Structure 1
Amino acid sequence: MGTTKTFILLAAMTALFMAVGYLVGGALGMGIAFVVALVMNVFSYWNADKIVLKMQGAREITDEERSPVLQTFASDTRALAEHAGMPHPKIYIIDTPQPNAFATGRDPKHAAVAATTGLLNMLNREEVSGVMAHELAHVQHRDTLTMTVTATIAGAIGMLANFALFFGNRERGGIITSIAIMIFAPMAAGLVQMAISRSREYEADRRGAEICGNPAWLASALEKIDRGARSTLNKRAEANPAMAHMYIMNPLNGRRGDSLFSTHPSTANRVEALRKLAADMTVGSMPEAAAANERATGPWG
């Protein structure tokens, strides 16, 4: 259902893009803007992961890493990827006290996952495994590519909407219509983008629970991350709010409920869904590396 909803929303985004292009300059105006958007899309396809990681100040964890905690974190993440039947992603750490994580990359062969130092300090080992399983699910579902495409189309719509005020065809509604397009078209694109993000979070929670083998790990992690994200500032995320939808929890604020303007579902709704899944799921299939620390009650230690 989530995949179907995503395709419907992407179709709506594309239809909105085409409609704004026509209102701005007819077939010619739409064609020019489409070419620009296509160039943006191709560039994003090949380079979005590098741009995102650099903007968030991420550092890759290599085989030469000296920190035992980071070595274990990387090892557990690779074990989860193997359990999911995926190639090993590149693994990054971000130095910020806010607990959070995200994934990026155009496909499973060119993927990266990143966690903050705050996440490793606040969560225990099995909870971290639940979080990284969620991020690997995003990679497996190619959600990161989907969000790149929607962000590109949304940007193109915003560009067209600004053109409407100065270059719009007056025969199609005049200055009032142009102003309305400039205001409401980007807003509508943003709403569709947020709706896509919310639908994919539920799917990644479900698949992530399957990958790590225990929905309770992710449910517990989400509750801790929610509290930490509300009380701790993520300066890099605040400086780049367009990236907020990529994180497992909104790094900018803590809105309650699945409101129209939220990029993520409410934590309570996600936890409830995971608990329902746990009731129907036989726990015990988690990777050995993560299962070894099932009884941990505090940060790594």
Structure 2
Amino acid sequence: HVKNYDIRVMTIVVIMVGAIAIISDLFFRIRLFGGSQNDNRSNGGGQLGAVLAIVGVVLLILSPIIAELIKLAVSRKREYLADASGALLTRYPEGLARALEKISASPEPLKTANAATAHLFISNPFKGRKAKSLFSTHPPLADRIAKLRGMA
């Protein structure tokens, strides 16, 4: 992860997603607090305000969902890149695949794992918990192992 500048990439992703959230909040607040007390419907001001309000509410609702989906997609791709970089560094992708198999052999999820720190684990710490595994920051170990074996 260090060699591939994952911290830099995730920082850029967070900034971009944060910008979407700020813009959606701005649209909502412009409509909520920015309108005048006069009736602007005769000159079209009411229509613009209504459009801004609708856009703001839609973005306000969707931006957290979009942010999470973007974060998960980028995180999964970076895990594959980290595996490939590790295979190039060690020149032994089969060994890395076997190490991932050993990690995946543990049948129980970690009881002390927290959703806020799940991205720090090598594999999904919530395996077996369907609700938490849907939003995993790591791709399935079987897929990672298959890609490493494909490099050999």
Alignment partner of 1:165 is 2:28: yes
CA displacement 1:210-236 (0-9 Å, x = unmatched): 22232222222223334549521234x
**Could you say if the C-alpha distance between residues 262 and 269 of structure 1 is closer, same or farther in structure 2, counting changes exceeding 3 Å?**
same
Residue aligning to 1:277? 151
Deviates more, 1:156-165 or 1:203-212: 156-165
Residue aligning to 2:41? none
Alignment partner of 1:146 is 2:23: no
Answer 1 or 2: which has greater strand percent: 1
- Give ranges in structure 2 of 5+ residues lacking alignment: 35-46
- Offset of 1:140 from its aligned partner? 0.9
Residue aligning to 1:14? none
**Could you say if the C-alpha distance between residues 230 and 212 of structure 1 is closer, same or farther in structure 2, counting changes exceeding 3 Å?**
farther
- Offset of 1:198 from its aligned partner? 1.4
- TM-score, length-scaled by structure 2: 0.68
Alignment partner of 1:215 is 2:87: no
Alignment partner of 1:182 is 2:49: no
Amino acid at match of 1:263: T
**Could you say if the C-alpha distance between residues 190 and 229 of structure 1 is closer, same or farther in structure 2, counting changes exceeding 3 Å?**
farther
**Could you say if the C-alpha distance between residues 146 and 246 of structure 1 is closer, same or farther in structure 2, counting changes exceeding 3 Å?**
farther
Return the alpha-carbon distance in structure 1 between the equivalents of residues 14 and 121 of structure 2.
15
- Offset of 1:184 from its aligned partner? 0.9
Structure 1 or 2, whichever has the larger Rg, is: 2
Return the alpha-carbon distance in structure 2 between the equivalents of residues 167 and 246 of structure 1.
39
The answer on whether the counterparts of 2:27 and 2:52 sit within 8 Å (CA) in structure 1 is no
SS at match of 1:139: coil
Return the alpha-carbon distance in structure 1 between the equivalents of residues 85 and 23 of structure 2.
37
Amino acid at match of 1:207: S
- Give ranges in structure 1 of 5+ residues lacking alignment: 1-137, 279-301
Count residues with an aligned counterpart.
Answer: 134
Percent identity of equivalent pairs: 37
Return the alpha-carbon distance in structure 1 between the equivalents of residues 82 and 54 of structure 2.
42
- TM-score, length-scaled by structure 1: 0.38
Q: Cα RMSD (Å) of the superposition?
A: 3.0
**Could you say if the C-alpha distance between residues 260 and 233 of structure 1 is closer, same or farther in structure 2, counting changes exceeding 3 Å?**
closer
Return the alpha-carbon distance in structure 2 between the equivalents of residues 177 and 260 of structure 1.
29
**Could you say if the C-alpha distance between residues 234 and 225 of structure 1 is closer, same or farther in structure 2, counting changes exceeding 3 Å?**
farther
Alignment partner of 1:267 is 2:141: yes
SS at match of 1:196: helix
Return the alpha-carbon distance in structure 2 between the equivalents of residues 143 and 217 of structure 1.
23
Residue aligning to 1:155? 18
The answer on whether the counterparts of 1:250 and 1:263 sit within 8 Å (CA) in structure 2 is yes
- Offset of 1:174 from its aligned partner? 4.3
The answer on whether the counterparts of 1:229 and 1:249 sit within 8 Å (CA) in structure 2 is no
**Could you say if the C-alpha distance between residues 195 and 275 of structure 1 is closer, same or farther in structure 2, counting changes exceeding 3 Å?**
same
Alignment partner of 1:248 is 2:126: no
**Could you say if the C-alpha distance between residues 201 and 167 of structure 1 is closer, same or farther in structure 2, counting changes exceeding 3 Å?**
same
